[in-house]
Amino acid sequence: MEIVKNIMDKVLSGVCAALLSFMTLLATYQVITRYVFSSPSTMSEDLLSYSFVWVSLLGTALVFGQKDHMKLSIFSDNFTGTKLFALSIFTELLIMTIAVIVFLFGGTQVVGVGAIQISPTLNISMEWIYIVLPISGVLIVVYNVINIIQLVQRFTESKKEGIL
């Protein structure tokens, strides 16, 4: 599982880095066309907005996978052993449930609506923009499953070693 997670981390990090680089170049182009040539590009503005959505949602999946998301440690700081393990599993399952409902089911519906919409400036189907919702949902769920497996492995190892 660690190998799969490392591969996912590297691929997602690379995609996010590429998107951020693309966005930087696009923003620079936009500033130059607007202020130097007095001819703003609406296409680059939309592309920048869509890229921002993609990098945000893919970055969200990456952050959940690395467990770097914001969390209230008021509960987890007070628990140890089996209680901390149960809370960690519950947290992963809660995140997974939200990802399935919002990103997978909701995102799939949004993609369906986007299939009948065309971006006026880019002249592409909006489903290509919205497809990132179910993609990030799948990634979050896969990360949740990996995190749960790792939690169980660490918990059982700790029990065997007599730490818990």
Count of Cβ atoms closer than 10 Å to residue 132 Cβ: 21
Please choose, from the candidates 154, 145, 153, the residue with its C-alpha nearest in 3D space to the C-alpha of residue 61. Answer: 145
Please choose, from the candidates 67, 34, 39, 89, the residue with its C-alpha nearest in 3D space to the C-alpha of residue 140. Answer: 67
Average pLDDT for residues 14-27, to the nearest whole number?
96
Kindly tell me if the per-residue pLDDT of 36 is higher than 70.
yes
What pLDDT digit, counting tens, does each position of 38-50 carry? 888 888 889 999 9
Q: Is the pTM of this model over 0.85?
A: yes
What percent of the chain is predicted at pLDDT more than 70? 97
Number of structural domains in the chain:
1
Question: Which pLDDT belongs to residue 163?
Answer: 67
Tokens of 63: 């952050």
What pLDDT digit, counting tens, does each position of 82-126 carry? 888 999 999 999 999 999 999 999 999 999 998 899 988 889 999
What pLDDT digit, counting tens, does each position of 66-90 carry? 887 767 677 777 888 888 899 999 9
Kindly tell me if the per-residue pLDDT of 164 is higher than 70.
no
Mean pLDDT of the chain: 90
The amino acid occupying position 100 is: V
Question: Which pLDDT belongs to residue 47?
Answer: 93
